[in-house]
């Protein structure tokens, strides 16, 4: 954007006074960076490599090596296929990302061979060369090879060979999926209100990536939160501006590697079930009356709605944890009325606390010494929505407790969930860095550190503070937080939305990749602003975005100030009817989505998965960035082109059914699918059982059965519980297969939750005849039958 235009836009959004402050803060920031340089800005003159091995000795779970120049390497097997390496010098990380360090003992061997030391488990052999070169083998297969790393105090640099076919994915939130050929900064950044394809970095970086390559890939996680960079040009290169060089290599295929990665960094707990419904938001619904009107609109147009979000204008002068009483005179009354209509209220929270001695949150925080300070001991003063503001130091346990204490204020007003924005942390500047000075001091839970290390942890720990507070405040409820920023492990506390994506077709296409990146980085719940954030979408773009979002874990409509209103009815017909259909479909899919949520809590698998997730050996799938799996059963191919009446879809090998008309489509090749405005291509994997809610309330779940091909079989699950709290649960596991012309569904159940004892069964793709439930015949009407709990259901078919 031209600077001139940018200036006027800024004045319009934040006012002239705030724009002038922005100019002032930009100057202050530059001065502070010069006044308090960090070690990485003046690194040591000399670059050291391990060069020669001095000593090697077995150590718990592995071995310890000493090289020249004081360089040390520690190797520890966490599991049979998970090995952790730590190069020093450099401080070890405060283990904010890690929840499980005590893994079971692994049988191991350490011995010296011709080509170096071997440290092996049953699964992996690591070969440590005398010069510090590392080679990783699975059996005979070399799957990773690292050159000796280099240390230029305090900076570590490492490079690893890349197979010419290797594809790389992850690194948190990125504006593309396949990362090959680019370099990516590890520094959480607000891209200034709008971003599209290729923008880097974004709000959430995570130094973990998955490598797919011929012969099998791996996942690597660098437990180092310093500013840094990872690139995948000719080689995989990693740079960290401080700390020890510590990383864990998980030598398995994607689902297993992510399982182990999330064993290390934690998994997302089940959300309250309502969160899986549709959310309506806007910056901002500014008054109570406006919110009521929106809720009314959803009711009038017969559109199911789970939640309304209140953006920053509900606050009094952007003071966090306050409510503007002129615009929201009775928030409690509002949330109570909404709740009566089945709608929850979510409010935004920004970390910046207004510098205002007359404001209790500021005063109390100052008295407790929980705000970030500069190296000279002065409280850091930054600039955000409330004007001059201070930043809680979430790396301080006292700050987390202090901050968490305020959620009670909004919870008692009936607020059901919280939306954490601006937690990169962001600050207003006129170009350049838009955060706090790099030398800002952090408590780091007693270990002390600077912002260069604490920056990427800021969002993670703000979410931790909120999550822990809500657990304590409402022990009978499941906390729900939505965040913009985070780091490894943030999945334990919050869902992630992809921020200020532009309203364009390119951005819609990119968003598939962005959400997939987030998912393979360990965060199972993500979503984007429907229609894009920073712009007013056309009806067609809005509809296409809505249709895709109906299959993403987080399903929310949101847009920037100054854009056209975009509630589904604003566009008139046919958009309204199409949105209604997809809202209903979403509601029907809730049992399936909820089951996937449970799976994520057990295995770490994201709800939205790359199409290669179960078939990573199919190389033609590695480049697909415009389609995704929802669980293993559904494949969604959103329409990301204007005016498209058909699109190409490549299905993984195997049999699939069109979700809309049960047509059989054989995978393993590309085919064309029709894309009239009211549809996007969706396919179901043969052998799946999809639990779906009925269209109308009051009946039990329906099991939609998609028969496997030929001799094949398939297993699926249905998870149920009360949808909130920590009571009983039940999992039904289904096996589907053919036995002599009969379709056989076996069910095993585990857990005490009662809920349903009435199942509808719908058979797709074949003509279903009589059903036999545990030996007793049941009637079939129009391919559907109803049964109580069963162990075995045999269905005669015409096939
Ligand atoms: O500086 O709260 O990404 O969703 O509407 C902008 C106002 C601050 C950025 C978030 C966006 C939100 C907006 N916020």
Taking the CA of residue 529 as reference, the ligand 1 atom at the shortest distance is 4
Q: HEC string of 25-92?
A: HHHHHHHHHHHCCCHHHCCCCCCECCCCEEEEEEECCEEEEEEHHHCEEEEEEEECCEEEEEEECCCC
- Pairing type for strands 72-79 and 82-88 reads antiparallel
486 CB within 6 A, ligand 1: no
Q: Atom 4, ligand 1: which residue's CA is nearest?
A: 499
Q: Give yes or no for a cis peptide into 598 (omega within 30° of 0).
A: no
For the cut 60, the answer to whether the pLDDT of residue 697 exceeds it is no
pLDDT value at residue 194: 94
Q: Catalytic site residue 500?
A: yes
DSSP letters for 724-750: SSS--EEEEEEEEEEETTEEEEEEEEE
- pLDDT (tens digit per residue) in 627-648: 999 999 999 999 999 999 999 9
Q: Atom 2, ligand 1: which residue's CA is nearest?
A: 312
- pLDDT (tens digit per residue) in 366-395: 999 999 999 999 999 999 999 999 999 999
- pLDDT (tens digit per residue) in 444-460: 999 999 999 999 999 99
Q: Atom 12, ligand 1: which residue's CA is nearest?
A: 283
Pocket test for ligand 1, best of 286, 418, 500, 563 (most atoms within 8 A of CB): 500
Pocket test for ligand 1, best of 283, 435, 529 (most atoms within 8 A of CB): 283
Residue with tokens 């009356």: 289
Beta bridge partners of 443: none
285 CB within 6 A, ligand 1: no
- pLDDT (tens digit per residue) in 192-237: 899 999 999 999 999 999 999 998 899 999 999 999 999 999 999 9
195 CB within 6 A, ligand 1: no
Element (H, E) at 702: strand 702-705
283 CB within 6 A, ligand 1: yes
Could you tell me the pLDDT band of residue 782, with boundaries at 50, 70 and 90?
confident
Which one is catalytic: 173, 421, 502, 539?
Answer: 421
Q: HEC string of 108-132?
A: CEEEEECCEEEEECCCCEEEECCCC
For the cut 70, the answer to whether the pLDDT of residue 658 exceeds it is yes
634 CB within 6 A, ligand 1: no
Distance CA 138, CA 541 (A): 47
Distance CA 773, CA 552 (A): 35
421 CB within 6 A, ligand 1: yes
CB atoms within 10 A of CB 387: 18
Which one is catalytic: 227, 288, 424, 599?
Answer: 424
Could you tell me the pLDDT band of residue 141, with boundaries at 50, 70 and 90?
very high
CB-neighbour burial class of residue 777 (10 A; exposed 0-12, middle 13-18, buried 19+): exposed
* d(CA 421, ligand 1 centre) in Å: 7
pLDDT value at residue 758: 84
For the cut 90, the answer to whether the pLDDT of residue 754 exceeds it is no
119 CB within 6 A, ligand 1: no
DSSP code, position 501: B
Nearest Cα neighbor of 647 from 656, 636, 655 is 636
494 CB within 6 A, ligand 1: no
- The CA-CA-CA angle for residues 725, 590, 649, to 5°, reads 140
Taking the CA of residue 428 as reference, the ligand 1 atom at the shortest distance is 1
49 contacts 132 by C-beta, under 8 angstroms: yes
Taking the CA of residue 350 as reference, the ligand 1 atom at the shortest distance is 2
199 CB within 6 A, ligand 1: no
Sign of CA dihedral 720, 722, 727, 728: negative
* d(CA 583, ligand 1 centre) in Å: 25
Element (H, E) at 135: strand 134-138
Task: Give the CA count within 13 Å in the CB-facing half-sphere of 266.
Answer: 18
481 CB within 6 A, ligand 1: no
Task: For residue 564, report the phi and psi dihedrals to the nearest 5 degrees.
Answer: -65, 150
Average of per-residue pLDDT across 699-724: 92
Average of per-residue pLDDT across 593-597: 98
Distance CA 780, CA 313 (A): 55
Average of per-residue pLDDT across 148-159: 98
Q: Give yes or no for a cis peptide into 191 (omega within 30° of 0).
A: no
Task: Give the CA count within 13 Å in the CB-facing half-sphere of 604.
Answer: 21
768 contacts 703 by C-beta, under 8 angstroms: no
Taking the CA of residue 284 as reference, the ligand 1 atom at the shortest distance is 5
531 contacts 559 by C-beta, under 8 angstroms: yes
* d(CA 157, ligand 1 centre) in Å: 35
Distance CA 41, CA 34 (A): 10
Taking the CA of residue 281 as reference, the ligand 1 atom at the shortest distance is 5
For the cut 90, the answer to whether the pLDDT of residue 100 exceeds it is no
* d(CA 446, ligand 1 centre) in Å: 32
Element (H, E) at 797: strand 792-797
* d(CA 491, ligand 1 centre) in Å: 21
pLDDT value at residue 12: 82
Task: For residue 709, report the phi and psi dihedrals to the nearest 5 degrees.
Answer: -80, 140
Average of per-residue pLDDT across 647-676: 97
And the tokens for 698? Answer: 């009051």
Taking the CA of residue 311 as reference, the ligand 1 atom at the shortest distance is 2
Average of per-residue pLDDT across 724-729: 97
Distance CA 701, CA 699 (A): 7
- pLDDT (tens digit per residue) in 503-553: 999 999 999 999 999 999 999 999 999 999 999 999 999 999 999 999 999
For the cut 90, the answer to whether the pLDDT of residue 699 exceeds it is no
Taking the CA of residue 500 as reference, the ligand 1 atom at the shortest distance is 3
Taking the CA of residue 484 as reference, the ligand 1 atom at the shortest distance is 3
Distance CA 639, CA 509 (A): 8
Task: Give the rounded distance of the alpha carbon of 388 from its chain centre.
Answer: 31
Which one is catalytic: 223, 229, 500, 632?
Answer: 500
Nearest Cα neighbor of 119 from 184, 57, 194 is 57
For the cut 70, the answer to whether the pLDDT of residue 1 exceeds it is no
Residue with tokens 């864990």: 248
pLDDT value at residue 744: 97
Could you tell me the pLDDT band of residue 589, with boundaries at 50, 70 and 90?
very high
* d(CA 203, ligand 1 centre) in Å: 12
312 CB within 6 A, ligand 1: yes
Question: Would you report the helix, strand and coil content of the chain in percent, each value rounded to 5?
Answer: 25, 30, 45
Q: Atom 1, ligand 1: which residue's CA is nearest?
A: 193
Distance CA 40, CA 151 (A): 12
Average of per-residue pLDDT across 403-413: 98
Distance CA 91, CA 224 (A): 10
* d(CA 65, ligand 1 centre) in Å: 49
Could you tell me the pLDDT band of residue 6, with boundaries at 50, 70 and 90?
confident
pLDDT value at residue 698: 53
Pocket test for ligand 1, best of 347, 421, 499, 531 (most atoms within 8 A of CB): 421
pLDDT value at residue 711: 83
559 CB within 6 A, ligand 1: no
* d(CA 73, ligand 1 centre) in Å: 44
* d(CA 561, ligand 1 centre) in Å: 9
Measured CA distances, 577 to 16, 300, 355, 570 (Å): 43, 13, 48, 12
Q: HEC string of 315-384?
A: CCCCCCCCCCCCCCCCHHHHHHHHHHCCCEEEEEECCCEECCCCCHHHHHHHHHCCECECCCCCECCEEE
196 CB within 6 A, ligand 1: no
Measured CA distances, 632 to 167, 252, 605, 607 (Å): 21, 19, 10, 9
pTM of the model as a whole:
0.98
Task: For residue 70, report the phi and psi dihedrals to the nearest 5 degrees.
Answer: 70, 15
348 CB within 6 A, ligand 1: yes
The pLDDT mean for the chain works out to 96
pLDDT value at residue 695: 67
* d(CA 535, ligand 1 centre) in Å: 13
* d(CA 283, ligand 1 centre) in Å: 7
350 CB within 6 A, ligand 1: no
Distance CA 308, CA 315 (A): 16
- Pairing type for strands 449-450 and 441-442 reads antiparallel
Taking the CA of residue 312 as reference, the ligand 1 atom at the shortest distance is 2
DSSP letters for 538-561: -HHHHHHHHHHHTTSSSEEE---T
311 CB within 6 A, ligand 1: yes
Could you tell me the pLDDT band of residue 660, with boundaries at 50, 70 and 90?
very high
156 contacts 90 by C-beta, under 8 angstroms: yes
Element (H, E) at 508: helix 505-520
* d(CA 294, ligand 1 centre) in Å: 20
CB atoms within 10 A of CB 141: 10
Distance CA 400, CA 461 (A): 8
And the tokens for 117? Answer: 């030391």
And the tokens for 795? Answer: 């269905």
Nearest Cα neighbor of 225 from 428, 490, 412, 557 is 490
500 CB within 6 A, ligand 1: yes
Beta bridge partners of 87: 73, 245
* d(CA 265, ligand 1 centre) in Å: 28
Pocket test for ligand 1, best of 317, 422, 563 (most atoms within 8 A of CB): 422
Could you tell me the pLDDT band of residue 433, with boundaries at 50, 70 and 90?
confident
Measured CA distances, 681 to 77, 638, 704 (Å): 44, 7, 18
């Amino acid at each position: 954007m031209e600077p001139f235009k940018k200036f006027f836009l800024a004045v319009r959004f934040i006012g002239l006074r705030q724009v002038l402050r922005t100019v002032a803060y930009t100057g202050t920031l530059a001065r502070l960076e010069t006044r308090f340089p960090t070690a990485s800005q003046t690194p040591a003159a000399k670059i050291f490599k391990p060069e020669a091995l001095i000593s090697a000795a077995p150590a718990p779970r592995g071995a310890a090596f000493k090289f020249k120049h004081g360089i040390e390497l520690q190797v520890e097997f966490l599991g049979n296929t998970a090995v952790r390496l730590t190069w020093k010098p450099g401080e070890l990380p405060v283990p904010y990302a890690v929840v499980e360090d005590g893994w079971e003992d692994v049988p191991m061997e350490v011995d010296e061979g011709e080509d170096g030391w071997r440290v092996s488990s049953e699964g992996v052999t690591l070969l440590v060369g005398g010069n510090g070169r590392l080679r990783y083998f699975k059996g005979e297969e070399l799957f990773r090879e690292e050159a000796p790393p280099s240390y230029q105090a305090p900076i570590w640099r490492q490079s690893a060979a890349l197979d010419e076919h290797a594809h790389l994915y992850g690194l948190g939130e990125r504006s593309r999926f396949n990362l090959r050929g680019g370099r990516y900064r590890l520094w959480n950044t607000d891209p200034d209100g709008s971003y599209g394809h290729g923008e880097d970095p974004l709000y959430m970086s995570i130094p973990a990536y998955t490598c797919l390559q011929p012969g099998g890939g791996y996942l690597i996680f660098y437990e180092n939160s310093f500013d840094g960079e990872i690139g995948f040009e000719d080689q995989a290169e990693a740079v960290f501006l401080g700390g020890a060089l510590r990383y864990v290599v998980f030598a398995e295929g994607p689902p297993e590697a992510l399982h182990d990665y999330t064993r290390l960094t934690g998994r997302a707990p089940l959300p309250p079930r309502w969160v899986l419904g549709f959310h309506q938001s806007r910056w901002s619904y500014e008054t109570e009356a406006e919110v009521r009107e929106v809720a009314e609109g959803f009711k009038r147009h017969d559109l199911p709605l789970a939640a309304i979000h209140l953006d920053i204008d509900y606050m009094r002068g952007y003071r966090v944890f306050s409510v503007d009483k002129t615009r929201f005179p009775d928030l409690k009354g509002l949330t109570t009325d909404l709740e009566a209509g089945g709608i929850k209220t979510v409010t935004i929270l920004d970390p910046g606390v207004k510098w205002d001695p007359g404001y209790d949150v500021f005063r109390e925080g100052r008295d407790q010494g929980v705000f970030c300070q500069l190296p000279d001991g002065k409280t850091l003063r930054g600039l955000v929505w409330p004007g001059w503001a201070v930043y809680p130091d979430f790396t301080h346990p006292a700050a987390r407790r202090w901050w968490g204490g305020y959620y009670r204020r909004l919870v008692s007003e009936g607020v059901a969930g919280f939306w954490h924005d601006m937690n990169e942390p962001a600050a207003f500047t006129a170009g350049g860095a838009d955060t706090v000075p790099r030398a800002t001091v952090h408590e780091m839970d007693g270990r002390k550190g600077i912002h260069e290390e604490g920056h990427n942890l800021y969002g993670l720990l703000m979410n931790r503070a909120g999550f822990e507070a809500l657990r304590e405040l409402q022990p009978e409820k499941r906390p729900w937080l939505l965040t913009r920023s985070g780091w490894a492990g943030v999945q334990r506390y919050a869902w992630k939305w992809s921020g200020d994506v532009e309203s364009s077709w390119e951005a819609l296409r990119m968003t598939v990749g962005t959400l997939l990146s987030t998912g393979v980085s360990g965060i199972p719940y993500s979503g984007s602003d429907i229609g894009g954030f920073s712009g007013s979408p056309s009806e067609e773009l809005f509809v296409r975005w809505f249709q895709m979002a109906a299959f993403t874990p987080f399903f929310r409509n949101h847009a920037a100030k100054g854009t056209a209103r975009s509630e589904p009815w604003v566009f008139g017909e046919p958009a309204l009817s199409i949105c209604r259909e997809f809202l209903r479909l979403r509601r029907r899919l809730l049992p399936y989505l909820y089951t996937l949520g449970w799976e994520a809590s057990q295995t770490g698998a994201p709800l939205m998965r790359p199409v290669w997730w179960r078939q990573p050996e199919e190389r033609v799938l590695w480049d697909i960035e415009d389609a995704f799996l929802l669980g293993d059963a559904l494949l969604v191919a959103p329409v990301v082109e204007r005016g498209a009446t058909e699109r190409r879809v490549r299905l993984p090998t195997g049999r699939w059914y069109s979700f809309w008309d049960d047509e059989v489509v054989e995978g393993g090749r590309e085919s064309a699918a029709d894309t009239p405005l009211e549809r996007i291509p969706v396919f179901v994997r043969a052998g799946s059982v999809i639990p779906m809610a009925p269209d109308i309330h009051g009946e039990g779940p329906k099991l939609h059965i998609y028969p496997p091909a030929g001799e094949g079989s398939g297993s699926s699950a249905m998870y149920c519980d009360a949808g909130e709290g920590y009571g009983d649960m039940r999992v039904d596991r289904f096996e589907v297969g053919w036995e002599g012309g009969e379709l056989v569904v076996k069910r095993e159940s585990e857990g005490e939750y009662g809920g349903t004892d009435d199942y509808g069964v719908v058979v797709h793709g074949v003509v279903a005849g009589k059903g036999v439930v545990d030996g007793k015949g049941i009637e079939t009407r129009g391919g559907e039958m109803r049964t109580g709990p069963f162990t075995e259901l045999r269905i005669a078919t015409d096939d």
